[in-house]
Structure 1
């Protein structure tokens, strides 16, 4: 069973192609399952599209859901299309987000922390001249937010959980006990950790998360899943087979995808 649970499309403003283009690419790549998971609107903001180029407008949310459900039916004989979403997490607003999500028949929701102290983790300017002590504080706050996102119970998958290294690889060298505390929280929750291959296309040139985190995740019995985080149809399934092989080397026996918010185990 070949799957990719993390894809975007033109609604978010920083990806190219329509949803159907990603489905076509998945079929060409011989996937069995393709998950559509565009960026959630900023539901708590007054503006319809508060940060153009970051996520879909609130007014696009219903049409996004409708389109994926129609395509799920249209392609059911060729590939399984899953309805997902990559959701930001803001602790002061998560109940507001939950209200919108509870009305939708999602197959899964990816919880991704993109903002720490109102700065986007993939904003290269954010890391200019950052001192190591500042990076440690930011890294610990990042993992605290991931823990809170897990405790919210809203998410099936934790997205790019060492994403801070994306545009500042030096972050990986900063050690903190907060990582293991976070992994224990995830293990207790039953949520899955995503192996996200988009980091290969960023400055860090590495998957999210790194091998040492995956080794710890395996130790704690955490389930893992796969997502290319494609923002271009040609990246669907990117390095999926390499990830599968590496997970087997680390000691994982299976990975998971989601259908109707329930984990489906697939042997590696």
Structure 2
């Protein structure tokens, strides 16, 4: 797979655009998609986190698009204008309105928040009872299925993100995987093979091997994203992605852009 559709820049929490594009070219890729985080929620707790993190692509996407176009004029590889949107079922109308206005080349949807808290925040979930943690994981997959059913997105990112949090790890079931696979089977949205934490503390790709087995059983195609936030991560992760695809006999698909 010689394209990476999930790379971040300083327009969210990555590095400079030219550094990410240069790193993709040096890694031998034919194309790189800049998919910065974006959130259009008006919930108070999310708005506050957005303010603290400085994720303002909903206000800066036109400026980023101009920067991407300038880079295209001198780049030897394709550069795609994408987005990674935070999804919540109650915000579908706001998301749809923004995506219609912004007209990105492709869209990635992600479930990052449960109860207004980022899924990665271990202390919050570690303090909960096992029953509440299980309920949180169930809710995560409820949201993921709703994301897929919404048909808002071309790609669903890191579809078992809860596995990155030790407090929520291993609570997903085969039944969860199967209902997600069934949703993908009826949708234009496809999952990605995400390498975001495959080389560090989590040590696995998303989807997990068991989840990937279920998706394969249903004949669900996948695409590829390094989820790189630093330039060096692109070159580090893609050889591992290629070996993983080969080992599992998978061929990732290219998006129609």
* Normalised TM-score (structure 1): 0.86
CA distance 1:65–1:228, change in 2 (3 Å): same
SS in 2 for 1:38: strand
Matches within 5 A, 1:1-268: 2-12=2-12, 14-15=13-14, 17-42=15-40, 44=42, 50-53=50-53, 55-56=55-56, 58-75=58-75, 78-168=76-166, 171-175=169-173, 177-200=175-198, 203-252=201-250, 254-260=251-257
- Contact persistence 1:39–1:87 (CA under 8 A): yes
Q: Which has more helix, going by share of residues?
A: 2
SS in 1 for 2:52: coil
CA distance 1:207–1:9, change in 2 (3 Å): same
Deviates more, 1:241-250 or 1:138-147: 241-250
Task: Please give the alpha-carbon distance, in whole angstroms, between the structure 2 residues aligned to 1:213 and 1:105.
Answer: 32
Task: Please give the alpha-carbon distance, in whole angstroms, between the structure 2 residues aligned to 1:161 and 1:240.
Answer: 19
Task: Please give the alpha-carbon distance, in whole angstroms, between the structure 1 residues aligned to 2:10 and 2:125.
Answer: 28
- CA-CA distance at 1:218 after TM superposition: 0.9
Please tell me the root mean square deviation across aligned C-alpha atoms, in Å. 2.3
Task: Please give the alpha-carbon distance, in whole angstroms, between the structure 2 residues aligned to 1:62 and 1:49.
Answer: 22
SS in 2 for 1:258: coil
CA distance 1:198–1:169, change in 2 (3 Å): farther
Instruction: For residues 24-56 of structure 1, give each alpha carbon's deviation from its aligned partner in whole angstroms, at most 9, with x where no partner exists.
Output: 111111111111000014354686984321622
Task: Please give the alpha-carbon distance, in whole angstroms, between the structure 2 residues aligned to 1:169 and 1:240.
Answer: 29
CA distance 1:100–1:157, change in 2 (3 Å): same
* Normalised TM-score (structure 2): 0.89
Structure 1: runs of 5+ lacking an equivalent: 261-268
Deviates more, 1:139-148 or 1:100-109: 100-109
- Contact persistence 1:49–1:56 (CA under 8 A): no
SS in 2 for 1:208: coil
CA distance 1:87–1:178, change in 2 (3 Å): same
SS in 2 for 1:63: helix
- Contact persistence 1:107–1:259 (CA under 8 A): no
